[in-house]
Amino acid sequence: MNLHAVRAIYVFEMSRTWRTLWQSIVSPVISTSLYFIVFGAAIGGAIREMGGVTYGAFIIPGLIMLSVLQQSTMNGSFGIFFPKFVGTIYELLSAPVSSLEAVAAYVGAAASKSIILAVIMLITARLFVDYEIQHPFWMISFLVLTALSFSLLGFIIGVLAGGFESLQFIPMLILTPLTFLGGSFYSIDALPGIWRTVSLFNPVVYLVSGFRWSFYGTSDVGVGISLAATLGFFLVCLAIVSWIFKTGYKLKA
């Protein structure tokens, strides 16, 4: 593997984070803090416990997962779309860099940004509510796997997008509603029977449930199922990205 090429692309992509620090880090943290204030303090006063923990602590994994999904998708899509937009993608395609190396650099940078944001949010959450992490290894595993999966999804969106408006279509109209309806702020066990069954078709439920289990040891669905669903989504996205580079679809046109 050409590690010099991977490092060059990775460092270039990460440098954008420090140039746009307010948009990349500060703004999502402020938005999440507002969620903690509104949901944790206001609604938490009416809902004392959920899933065996205080409501303020209960929503922490969901809020972090909400930001990780959104930021991973956005960073992954913009990272590959911008070279397409300005035409520098052809330099990458003609360089001695394999598809695996290019994907590793772009997706690795997008996932790294999301993981950094998640760590900052975990620290920020301590200012509002006490929480515990019962299974730190699995928390990190779910976090990294989710960040990589949705960075790959963002990469696919960036390749397929025909303009800047297209970059927002799936994250805003599909991903965000699925996240809000995926148990980020509530347990799907509290839903009526038919709606709980419908929720099980939402893939985000498995991501949030597995991540919450790593904190408190409780989940809406089995942790093994959550892990399998997350890993399956990662492998599907990876296969699609590999096919895109192999065929040059939407890259060489």
Tens-digit pLDDT profile for residues 152-203: 998 898 888 877 777 777 777 788 888 888 888 888 888 887 888 888 888 8
Listed in sequence order, the residues at least 6 apart from 217 whose beta carbon sits closer than 8 Å to its beta carbon are 134, 135
Listed in sequence order, the residues at least 6 apart from 140 whose beta carbon sits closer than 8 Å to its beta carbon are none
Among the residues of the chain, which ranges form H helices? Answer: 3-19, 21, 27-35, 55-86, 89-94, 99-125, 136-160, 164-170, 176-180, 193-199, 203-216, 223-247
In the prediction, which pLDDT does 45 show? 61
Mean pLDDT of the chain: 84
105, with CB counted inside 10 A (0-12, 13-18, 19+), is buried
Tens-digit pLDDT profile for residues 118-163: 998 898 888 888 888 999 999 999 999 999 999 999 889 888 887 7
Range 28-55 average pLDDT: 73
Is the pLDDT reported for residue 40 higher than 70?
Answer: no
Is the pLDDT reported for residue 210 higher than 90?
Answer: yes
In the prediction, which pLDDT does 176 show? 80
Is the Cβ–Cβ distance between 183 and 205 less than 8 Å? yes
Is the pLDDT reported for residue 209 higher than 90?
Answer: yes
Please state the pTM of the whole predicted model: 0.88
Tens-digit pLDDT profile for residues 44-102: 566 667 777 888 888 889 889 988 998 899 888 888 888 877 777 777 777 777 777 88
Is the pLDDT reported for residue 235 higher than 90?
Answer: yes
Range 31-44 average pLDDT: 71
Return the percentage of the chain with pLDDT > 90, whole number. Answer: 24
Is the pLDDT reported for residue 43 higher than 70?
Answer: no
Residue 49 main-chain phi, psi, to 5 deg? -140, 155
Pick from 125, 110, 39: which is nearest to 68 by CA?
110
Pairwise CA distance, residues 68 & 66, whole Å: 6
